[in-house]
Structure 1
Amino acid sequence: MNWYLAVLKKYAEFTGRARRKEYWMFFLFSLIASIVLLIIDKITGTYSAHSGVGLLGGLYGLATLIPGLAVTVRRLHDTGRSGWWILICLIPFIGAIIFIVFLASNGNAADNKYGGDPKQEPEPQAA
């Protein structure tokens, strides 16, 4: 949970680097939260089959859009790539596969032009 909160604390910070663990933990908690909100939306009747989104899920998606983009850009920075590589997802199928490989790749062990190695920084501690 600390990784999720750490990303939210850096709400719109597009500079620096993010470890794989930080990115994937944020992704995991966001996925779980989205599934729970989808279930709640269906139970309460606020889910729209036509649009494919519910009221709570839509609000959550809007609230986490900027932090999600920011942590993705920082993750790309950790691998030595510009944040503009996020646009590779616009290439159907192949772009998404390449993008996932970028996100799952090990970061640069040394400092790069985007900052110091985030593995050398202390991990978020439990509150």
Structure 2
Amino acid sequence: MKPFLNIFTFTGEASRSEWWCVYIGVWALWFVLAQVDTVLNGAEETGSWFVVVYLVSFWPLWTTQVRRWHDRGKSGLWCLINFIPVIGSLWAFIELGFFQTKEDDDAWMN
């Protein structure tokens, strides 16, 4: 339950398990909603409600990623790496999803 209590804050840190819980949860939500949208609207068009849910769901992804970068001992500005096509998002996924916590407490604040 803890991963979903911290989705509104950029402060602090997020463990790998918390990061995975939020990411898998949001991706599962997107998958289910895409299936529902296809059934309701057909494969040719996307319902506007799905676009709203898609945009709103970026908030927990963003806050969790910032806190995970903090846990890795880096600034939350590392989220900007996602804007580098393919390589940036791939690196963020690998580092945040598979690398361990940085041992130096609050290293990102120094």
Normalised by the size of structure 1, how large is the TM-score? Answer: 0.72
Q: Which secondary structure does the structure 1 equivalent of 2:88 belong to?
A: helix
Aligned structure 1 segments of 4 or more residues deviating by more than 3 angstroms? 46-49, 53-56
Structure 1 match to 2:90: 97
Equivalent pairs counted in the alignment come to 108
Structure 1 match to 2:79: 86
RMSD: 2.2
8 Å contact from structure 1 (residues 41, 55) kept in 2: no
Richer in helix (by share): 2
Structure 2 match to 1:14: 10
Moved more, 25-34 or 103-112: 103-112
Moved more, 30-39 or 7-16: 7-16
Aligned amino acid, residue 73 of structure 1 = V
Query: Which residue of 108, 112, 116 corresponds with 2:102?
Result: 108
Aligned amino acid, residue 52 of structure 2 = L
Normalised by the size of structure 2, how large is the TM-score? Answer: 0.81
How much does 1:67 deviate? 1.8
Question: Is 1:66 aligned with 2:59?
Answer: yes
Gaps of 5+ in 1: 116-127
How much does 1:46 deviate? 7.2
